[in-house]
């Protein structure tokens, strides 16, 4: 398997679709080719930050309402009052009275589980679509990758850093950050970009316990080609994101 063939299968590999001999040949090439291995490692870093930024949330109200509506639509079995009665030869009819409400409860339970499963599958499809969009953005030759570093400070591999990904035909901007220390008490990291000499708010950057952060922002029709800079500042928590007031913490400027 050569480099071109590996590049064509990268998305399948990251999505877990490669199997058998194709998978073994792919990994065999990665062990022998430093260029492909390094490129794929960058993609895995981005995806790791992406999924690390996903936090579990309680089901939305419309999910609960949809489940209750599906349950309400089920045919309701009549309530059966069980009475003590003499044993008879036809004991199955007596068991039928007991099993009827049990069966109804099982049907309701299965229906609720089916509804929740359908919502979970829809969520998985949405996450796969987001992952595919990120892969397209980070792997396209037409994408720009802008490194944000500390201004006027020599490069240090252990220092905080960030990268912003943009592309003319992409519907989102992507910003990843690593080795970010928690902001001081009462402050928050905020990302900004400069377009046509105007500074616009990109979003809050919230590092996890490992110092990683992932920010995905719709482009809302902006043209990435006109971006001339982007930077991160420390701002007062709760303040309106109108204009940056703190010093630039990490920054990139177009030459």
42 and 69 part of one domain: no
pLDDT computed for residue 23 by the predictor: 86
The answer to the question of residue 12 being in a domain is: yes
Total of domains in the chain:
3
User: Does position 117 have pLDDT exceeding 90, yes or no?
Assistant: no
Q: pLDDT band for position 203 (50/70/90)?
A: very high
pLDDT computed for residue 127 by the predictor: 64
Q: What is the pLDDT of residues 120-148, one digit of tens each?
A: 556 656 666 667 777 777 777 788 888 89
34 and 126 part of one domain: no
Assigned token pair, 203: 């979003």
Decide: pTM greater than 0.75.
no
Mean local confidence (pLDDT), 227-241: 92
The answer to the question of residue 86 being in a domain is: no
Question: Residue 136 — φ and ψ, nearest 5°?
Answer: -60, -40
Q: What is the domain extent for residue 121?
A: 61-79+92-134
48 and 123 part of one domain: no
Closest residue by Cα to residue 55 from 192, 164, 200, 206? 206
Q: pLDDT band for position 201 (50/70/90)?
A: very high
Pairing of strands 248-253, 198-205: unpaired
Q: What is the pLDDT of residues 7-36, one digit of tens each?
A: 888 777 776 778 888 888 888 888 888 888
């Amino acid at each position: 398997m050569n480099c071109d063939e590996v590049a064509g299968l990268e998305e399948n590999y990251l999505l877990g679709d490669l199997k058998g001999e194709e998978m073994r040949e792919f990994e065999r090439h990665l062990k022998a080719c430093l260029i492909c291995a390094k490129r794929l490692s960058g993609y895995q870093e981005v995806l790791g930050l992406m999924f690390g930024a996903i936090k579990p949330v309680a089901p939305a109200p419309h999910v609960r309402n949809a489940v209750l509506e599906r349950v309400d639509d089920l045919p309701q079995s009549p309530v059966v009052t069980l009475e003590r009665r003499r044993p008879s030869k036809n004991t199955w009819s007596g068991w039928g009275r007991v099993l009827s409400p049990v069966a109804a409860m099982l049907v309701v339970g299965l229906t609720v589980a089916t509804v929740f499963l359908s919502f979970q599958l829809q969520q998985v499809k949405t996450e796969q679509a987001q992952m595919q969009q990120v892969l397209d953005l980070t792997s396209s030759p037409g994408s720009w990758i802008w490194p944000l570093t500390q201004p006027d400070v020599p490069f240090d591999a252990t220092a905080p850093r960030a990268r912003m990904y943009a592309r003319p035909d992409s519907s989102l901007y992507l910003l990843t950050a690593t080795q970010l220390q928690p902001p001081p008490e009462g402050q928050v990291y905020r990302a900004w970009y400069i377009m046509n000499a105007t500074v616009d708010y990109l979003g809050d950057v919230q590092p996890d316990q490992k110092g990683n952060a992932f920010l995905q922002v719709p482009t809302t029709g902006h043209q990435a080609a006109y971006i001339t800079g982007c930077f991160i500042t420390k701002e007062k928590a709760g303040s309106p994101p109108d204009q940056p007031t703190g010093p630039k913490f990490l920054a990139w400027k177009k030459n």
